[in-house]
Amino acid sequence: MENPRPQPPAPTPPMAPLPIPVHPPIAPIPVPPRAPAPSSAAAVASTSAAAGGDDAEYEVSDDHRAARERHERAVQELLQRRRAYAMAVPTNDSAVRARLRRLGEPITLFGEREMERRDRLRALMVRLEAEGQVDRLVRAQEDDQAAAGGAVEEEEEQIQYPFFTEGTQELLKTRVDIAKYSLPRAKARIERAKRRHDDPDEDPEAEADLVVKQAGEFVLECSEIGDDRPLSGCSFSRDGSMLATRELAQLCLNIFHSLLHSKSNVSRLAALELYIKGLDISAFSWSGMIKVWSMPQITKVATLKGHTERATDVAFSPTDDCLATASADKTAKLWKPDGSLLTSFDGHLDRLARLAFHPSGKYLGTASFDKTWRLWDLNTGKELLLQEGHSRSVYGVSFHPDGSLAASCGLDAYARVWDLRSGRLFFTLKGHVKPVLGVSFSPNGYLVATGSEDNFCRIWDLRKKEMLYSIPAHKSLISHVKFEPQEGYYLATSSYDTKAALWSARDYKPIKSLVGHESKVTSLDISGDGQQIVTVSHDRTIKIWSCKINTQDNAMELD
């Protein structure tokens, strides 16, 4: 039986086509014919016309127009500032001045500083560039480069030497003499310090404690009216048998007070002028004198008269009984104790402040308000050294115990240590914020003390060249400072707060406050054995302070 064949599927009837929507034809976009590019004038005219049309169509308020103008000005200023800072402007002030001079501008204006001058040059260069005067800028820059090249060539031609001032043959001999004097003393001092450190039988710590303990026993031994005028300086002789004091002239002070309390305005103005000038007017006959007293009775031995103006300092020689005085008449003088004049030292251009003897006794150092201190030969009276370095008046000078160094202090708030053997500046003592009025070397050879108007006493280490300690010593300015002359175990300071004070040189703690004066303490000195201290004051008194233990020992020996 045959299988039936499969039948093909029935054909699907075709679907009717979907109707296609018919859209209307799109009209072509008309393309205007290309016109030639208008000129710049026509473009500006069309732009202004369009703007006018806009203004005609839209009303712009005055505030909006002003704001738009401010915005445009700010944009222009910003662009100019960017252009200015992109310019190469000299940084050296001398170069800035030279560029301003070449551009025909004033090199400086009243009260103008360096940065302000540089900003003015930058603004000028931007203005010239904006005005199209680029050729002026190019010529000025080329002239600057040519001048700089010439200066470089000159510097290359010159041989560079360290700055110095040529000295005399006398100064050379003096430096050699000071070196020969100081080196053996320094060697002996160091060997002694080593021996005391290594010797088991010696105890420097115990000795220092004993001296500090004795210093705490200082008491007022006697007080004597030195004059009817304020006293401003004092000095012991080398053996403590004589004392010299200097006094302020009261005549000018009396005139000042009378003018100040006068009812006349002219007199008050004269008093004000007198105060501003620091009471330094020779027409008022400042006649401060030097008096020499014998110790311990404090009896007057002699009066030194020879200066034409007031005396400013007095000091005894470390090798004999001669003494030197400084004065506002720009001179220093060397005297015998009986009042006879030996030598006069002339050369300073302004009044003298303080003076000091070199440890050898051959030289004298003087400090002056002419911003210099000078070294003099006592035998010939000649000026050996004129030392500059301070920016303001030099007030004090002191010498190292070995004689190798000198220290000067001034109203510029600095103290400086100089090497007398080479003439070089060894160390600048920076730390005070007001004038430095006193400086003193310690006998140990490496410590220096300074006293200032900022009421601080600062201790400096010459080995490390740095400040070691700062003592807030007094409530007013420190008029004088000095180390104990034997070993430097304690330090004495005097101040305008009517007090003098003693400080330990080990930890710089206060030992004793010497209270007794009724006015400003202007100066002090310590005897060679360290057993007596003298202070003078504006209360016109001389006060001698003695060690209580030493006084008791002397009384026991007499018994």
Please state the domain extents for the chain: 170-249+286-546
Which has the higher per-residue pLDDT, 476 or 53? Answer: 476
Domain spanning 170-249+286-546 has what CATH number?
2.130.10.10
Which has the higher per-residue pLDDT, 469 or 28? Answer: 469
Full DSSP string of 11-77? PPPPPPPPPPP-PPPPPPPPPPPP-PPPPHHHHHHHHHHHHHHHHHHSPPPHHHHHHHHHHHHHHHH
- DSSP state letter for 325: E
Full DSSP string of 437-498? EEEEE-TTSSEEEEEETTSEEEEEETTTTEEEEEEE--SS-EEEEEE-TTT--EEEEEETTS
Averaged pLDDT, 101-127: 86
Quick one: pLDDT band at residue 444, thresholds 50, 70, 90? very high
Q: According to the model, what pLDDT value does residue 555 have?
A: 43
Classify residue 150 by burial, with Cβ atoms within 10 Å: 0-12, 13-18, 19+: exposed
Which has the higher per-residue pLDDT, 474 or 153? Answer: 474
From the list 181, 345, 351, 182, the residue with the least C-alpha distance to 278 is 351
Averaged pLDDT, 76-90: 69
Averaged pLDDT, 159-169: 69
Q: According to the model, what pLDDT value does residue 242 have?
A: 87
CA–CA dist 294, 245 (Å, integer) = 11
Residues of the chain with pLDDT > 70, as a percent, come to: 75
- Give Cα separations from 453 to 170, 404, 414, 431, 495 (angstroms): 37, 28, 12, 12, 9
Using CA of residue 386, residue 387, residue 389, residue 392, what is the dihedral sign? negative
- Give Cα separations from 483 to 456, 497, 547 (angstroms): 16, 20, 16
Q: Is the pLDDT of residue 370 over 70?
A: yes
Which has the higher per-residue pLDDT, 283 or 416? Answer: 416
Which has the higher per-residue pLDDT, 227 or 190? Answer: 190
Q: According to the model, what pLDDT value does residue 33 have?
A: 57
| pLDDT tens digits along 500-517 | 999 999 999 999 999 999
R_g of the chain, CA atoms, integer Å:
43
- Give Cα separations from 404 to 314, 450, 484 (angstroms): 23, 19, 20
- Enter the tokens of residue 32: 């205007």
**Start-end of H helices in 242-395:** 250-260, 265-276
User: What is the pLDDT of the chain when averaged over all its residues?
Assistant: 81
Q: According to the model, what pLDDT value does residue 368 have?
A: 95
Q: According to the model, what pLDDT value does residue 502 have?
A: 95
Which has the higher per-residue pLDDT, 7 or 323? Answer: 323
Q: According to the model, what pLDDT value does residue 32 have?
A: 55
Averaged pLDDT, 98-112: 87
Averaged pLDDT, 175-183: 96
From the list 340, 344, 273, the residue with the least C-alpha distance to 308 is 344
Whole-prediction pTM value? 0.66
Q: Is residue 119 within a helix (H) or strand (E), and if so which, with residue range? A: helix 114-130
Q: According to the model, what pLDDT value does residue 556 have?
A: 42
Quick one: pLDDT band at residue 43, thresholds 50, 70, 90? very low
Q: Is the pLDDT of residue 224 over 80?
A: yes
